[in-house]
Amino acid sequence: MQTTAEQIEQDLLRPLFHSSGKYWIAVAIATSLLLAGVAAFGYQLYAGIGVWGLNSPVFWAFDITNFVFWIGISHAGTLISAILRLTNATWRRPVTRCAEAITVFSVLIGAIIPLCHIGRPWLAYWMIPYPSERHIWPNFRSPLAWDFFAISTYLTGSTTFLYLPTIPDFAAVRDVSTGLRKKIYRVLALGWQGTPRQWQRLEVAMHIMAVVIVPVAVSVHTIVSWDFAMTLVPMWHSSIFGPYFVAGAIFSGIAALILAMALLRKFLHLEQYLRPIHFENLGKLLLTMSLLWFYFTFAERLTAWYGNSPPEMAVFWESIRKNFAPLFWTMVVCNFIIPVPILAIKRLRTITGTAIASATVVVGMWLERFLIVVPALEHKFLPYSWGTYRPTWVEDTLMASSFGMMALLYLLFSKFVPMISIWEMKVGLQSHAGVPMVAPAEGQVALEGPQ
C-alpha cells in the first residue's frame, strides 16, 4: 500500500470539508438528547432537587455514578496517549487524538454533573479559593475540595495535551482554506509556521506533558475513589479503592476508545488509518484490564466476605444474592464473561469483536459504579436507617443527556479538527525507529512496517 503525505492530508482533512447525511442525523440525535437534558435540568432548577429520587439514606446515586463513570472514561485518552508516546509506540499515531478528545470531553461532562447535584449551581464559584468578603475558604480537608483541584488540573492538562499537537494541523487546515474558515484556523494555529525551532519546542513540550499527565490522571481517579473511601460507609472505607478505581477507569476508558475508533473508522471512512492492528493492540490492553478488573473485584469481595463484618455482609449479600443481584451478575457478564473469550481468542479479536467487547464493558462499568454507590448507601451501619432508591425520569434524562452531550461534542470536534494527527502520520512515512529514511521516489513511500 503506497501512501503519500499529500494523500494523508487529503484523507484526513476530507471530513472537515465534506459531511454525509448520516453525520447530520447523528448530530440531530445527539442534540435532541442534550436538549432533553437541558429541559430536565431546567425543571430541576424550577422545582428543586427533590425531583430526583434521592432521599435519606441515599443522597448520592445516578449523579455520582455518572460523575465517576465519565471521569473514568476520561482515562482513555490522556493516560493511554501519554504512555504510548513515552514508550514511543509507533502504532499510537492514528489513535492518540481520538483518545485525547475523549478525555477532554468526558472530564468536562464529569465536571458538570456535580454542578447539577449541588442544587444551586450559581454558587459553584464558592469552591474557588479567593479572598472573599464572606471570609469562607474551601475546606481543604474535604475530598470534594480535592476533587475540585484534581479535576481542574486534569482538565487543564488534558486540554493542553490535546491542543498542542493539534496546532500544526490547524495550520494545515489554514493553508488549504479560504474565507471565514481561514480566519478561524489562522487564530487557532497561532501563526504556526513549521520551522525546526517550533517543531523542537513542540516535541519537548509534548514529552514534558506526557510525563506530567500520567501521575495527574492516576491522582484524579484515586481522589475520586477517596470521595467514597474517606467515608465510614460499609464496603467503602477501604484502601483498595484507589487502585481499584484507577484500574476500572483505564478499563472503561480503553473500551470507550475502541468504540469511538470503530465508529470513526466507519463513518469518516478512515479504514486506511485505523487498521485492524490498532484494534488488536487495544484489544490486548482491554483483555489485560478485564483480568485486572476481575482480580480487584474478587479481592475486594473476598476481603469483605472473610471478615464477615455484619454491616459489610449486608451490602455484600444485597449485591450478590438479593435486590441488586441481577445488576451485579450482568456487570460480571459484561466486564468479564463476554469480553475475555472474545479478546483472548485471536480469531475473535477483530474490529467487530473488540467493538462488541468494548460495548459490553462500557455497560458493565457503568453498572459497577452504580453498584459501588447505591447498595452501600441503602444499607449503612444502623438497620433502622436502611432505605431504598429508585431513579426518577429527571435522573434518567440527565444520564441519557450526558451520553448525548459526549456524542455531540465528539461529532462537532470531528468536523473542526482532523481526528487523526496529520503531521504524526507523516512522521510515520519518513522514519523507522527514529532513523531517517530518504523517500525512494518523489514523496512515494510506504506506511511504516507493522501497519
Partner 1 sequence: MKALYGLYVDAAGAQRAFDLLRSASSELKLRSQQIVVVAGEPHEGYEFFDAQATSTPYRWAVLGAAVGGTAGYLLTTLSQKSYPIHTGGMSLTPAWTNGIIVYEMIMLGAILTTLVVLLIGAGLPNFKGVIADPEVGKGKILVGVVDPPEGLEPELERRLQQAGAWQVKRSATLQP
* List of residues contacting partner 1 (CB under 8 A): 4-6, 9, 129, 135-137, 139-141, 145-146, 149-150, 152-153, 156-157, 160, 164, 167-168, 171-172, 175-176, 186, 190-205, 208-209, 212-213, 215-216, 219, 223, 422-424, 426-427, 429-431, 434-436, 438-439, 442-443
User: How far apart are the C-alpha atoms of 343 and 354, rounded to whole Å?
Assistant: 7
For residues 13 and 327, which CB has a smaller minimum distance to partner 1 in the complex?
Answer: 13
The smaller minimum CB distance to partner 1, of residues 27 and 212, is found at 212
Place of cell 486540554: 159
Strands annotated E in 4-140: none
For the bound state, the minimum distance from the C-beta of residue 441 to partner 1, rounded and expressed in Å, comes to 9
Whether 62 and 392 have beta carbons less than 8 Å apart is answered as no
Residues 91, 428: Cα–Cα separation, whole Å: 9
Q: Are 256 and 76 in contact (CB under 8 A)?
A: yes
Whose Cβ is closer to partner 1: residue 96's or residue 401's?
96
Question: What gap in Å lies between CA 80 and CA 83, rounded to an integer?
Answer: 5
For partner 1, the closer of residues 199 and 386 by Cβ is: 199
Type of residue at 40: A
The grid coordinates of residue 429 equal: 512515512
- Please, which residue, 46 or 136, has the CB nearer to partner 1? 136
- Cβ nearer to partner 1, comparing 157 with 353: 157
The count of other CB atoms within 10 Å of the CB of residue 338 is: 19
Dihedral sign from CA coordinates of 261, 262, 264, 270:
positive
> Is the CB of 222 or the CB of 290 nearer to partner 1?
222
Q: Assign 397 to helix, strand or coil.
A: helix
**C-beta of 248: minimal distance to partner 1 in Å?**
21
Query: Looking up cell 482491554, which residue turns up?
Result: 286
Q: How many CB atoms lie within 10 A of CB 127?
A: 17
